[in-house]
Amino acid sequence: MEEICIIGAGPAGLMAAICAAQNSAKVLVLETNSTAGRKLLLTGGGRCNFTHACCPEEIAKAFDKPGRFLRHSLHEFSPDEVREFFQWRELPSTVESDGCVFPISNQAADVRNLLVAETIKLGVHIQYQSRVEGISADGSGFIIQSASRRILASRVILATGGLSWPQTGSTGDGYRFAEQLGHTIIPTKPALVPLVAQESWASELAGVSLANVRLRTTVDTRAFAAVGNMLFTQRGIGGPAAQDLSRRLTDALSQRQQGIPVEIDILPGLDEGQVDKQLQQGLQAQAKKNVANVLSELLPLPRQLSQTLCLLAGCGRDVQAGQFPSDRRRQLTRTIKRLPLCITGTEPIAKATVTRGGVSRDEIDPKTMESKIRPGLFLAGEVIDLDGPCGGYNLQMCWSTGALAGRSAASLVVTP
């Protein structure tokens, strides 16, 4: 009988394996792919934003109310300790101005390779191309059925991830296993996902990106904002700011028929008066140019967007700056500060960065990550009903819950 069997060699499963083996447990990892951490390789655009430079409490807060569940694990393995973990193994990191932490090499592959090397060093066996098909409880242990083998284990750590980017191996199997073992699965939805907009002008701008915008919305009288870069897509808006806002919209969108209004503040660093003044001066100084050209050079903005803004503000794109009425200019200013969009949905879960929903937190002991329903079963990472914002929060959650699950599983005394 195996001592600990971990299902999934993603960030949560690999960290669980390392921490269990460090605590003298004999560990087997089963992974459906032929390599570990396929999704990890894609993180941070291939650079891997592996945590956020802040204290455990701030990470917990970023997860909203569910953050309470995470507190213990975050204190057990904090963002600072995660950085030290990699630093000690010769992978130093750098903190960007927004607090996002990346390996100094800017290579997600370095993070993945280090984790795999560490598991090998500690004597963990990773069995690749080994898709688990079912898990059942057997007396004080578990029977794990894969296509080729039947494995008996006294403890199981479920680290199979969510439903997003299924081509990386996370196809939602873990939900089925947890349900078969008696757990409740909170319905899954896409989180951190591009938003679908009603307006056709948005899709005409597909490919145009904007730095540091502020997106605002109100859902059931609660105001939300997200700041960062965004991108117009074929069906609406994407990029970090849009994805962060999507966390506030997915629940509401699934419950209502009509869309949700969102405003884009293209220049959040300036108030409306300041933008209007700049515009007035710029238009006066370049009276012979057309308004859209002045706008794109002055602010500066992509030309295509400037033209769209002019049209939305009710002025022809070829109007000369010197002949631009002041009421139209004020309307243009308002459009720049409050560009309205109606969000009607999100892209599907397969295109989401993370999954909202999953194994109910109420059924997991936050001090150990052990199931309250099935002793000996532990859960870690995205398979749990937890989703955080962009910025390294989700991987930090995986490291912390993985580490705690590994240590707890290793220290559990199994009665024969």
Ligand X SMILES: Cc1cc2nc3c(=O)[nH]c(=O)nc-3n(C[C@H](O)[C@H](O)[C@H](O)COP(=O)(O)OP(=O)(O)OC[C@H]3O[C@@H](n4cnc5c(N)ncnc54)[C@H](O)[C@@H]3O)c2cc1C
d(CA 122, CA 174): 26
Report the side by side order of strands in the sheet with 93-95: 51-52, 100-103, 93-95
Angle, in degrees to the nearest 10, between helices 11-22 and 393-411: 30
Chain center to CA of 55: 19
Q: Which is nearer to ligand X, 141 or 402 (CB)?
A: 402
d(CA 228, CA 239): 8
Asked whether 126 and 31 are in contact (CB, 8 A), the reply is yes
Task: Enter the DSSP assignment of 33.
Answer: S
User: Whose CA is closest to 183, among 372, 394, 395?
Assistant: 372
Q: Which is nearer to ligand X, 164 or 346 (CB)?
A: 164
Q: Which is nearer to ligand X, 230 or 339 (CB)?
A: 230
Q: Which is nearer to ligand X, 170 or 217 (CB)?
A: 170
Q: Which is nearer to ligand X, 120 or 414 (CB)?
A: 120
Chain center to CA of 128: 26
Task: State in angstroms the smallest separation of the CB of 106 from ligand X.
Answer: 12
For 338, half-sphere exposure in the C-beta direction (CA atoms, 13 angstrom radius) is: 7
Q: Which two tokens stand for residue 390?
A: 């962009």
Task: State in angstroms the smallest separation of the CB of 301 from ligand X.
Answer: 28
Task: State in angstroms the smallest separation of the CB of 276 from ligand X.
Answer: 38
DSSP codes joined into one string, 381-397: GGGBS----TTTHHHHH
Asked whether 239 and 386 are in contact (CB, 8 A), the reply is no
Contacts with ligand X by CB under 6 A lie at 7-13, 30-33, 38-40, 42-44, 48-49, 131-132, 159-161, 164-165, 169-170, 173, 353-354, 381-382, 392-395, 398
Task: State in angstroms the smallest separation of the CB of 203 from ligand X.
Answer: 22
Q: Which is nearer to ligand X, 145 or 323 (CB)?
A: 145
What are the backbone angles phi and psi of residue 400, rounded to the nearest 5°? Answer: -70, -45
Asked whether 91 and 83 are in contact (CB, 8 A), the reply is no
Q: Which is nearer to ligand X, 49 or 335 (CB)?
A: 49
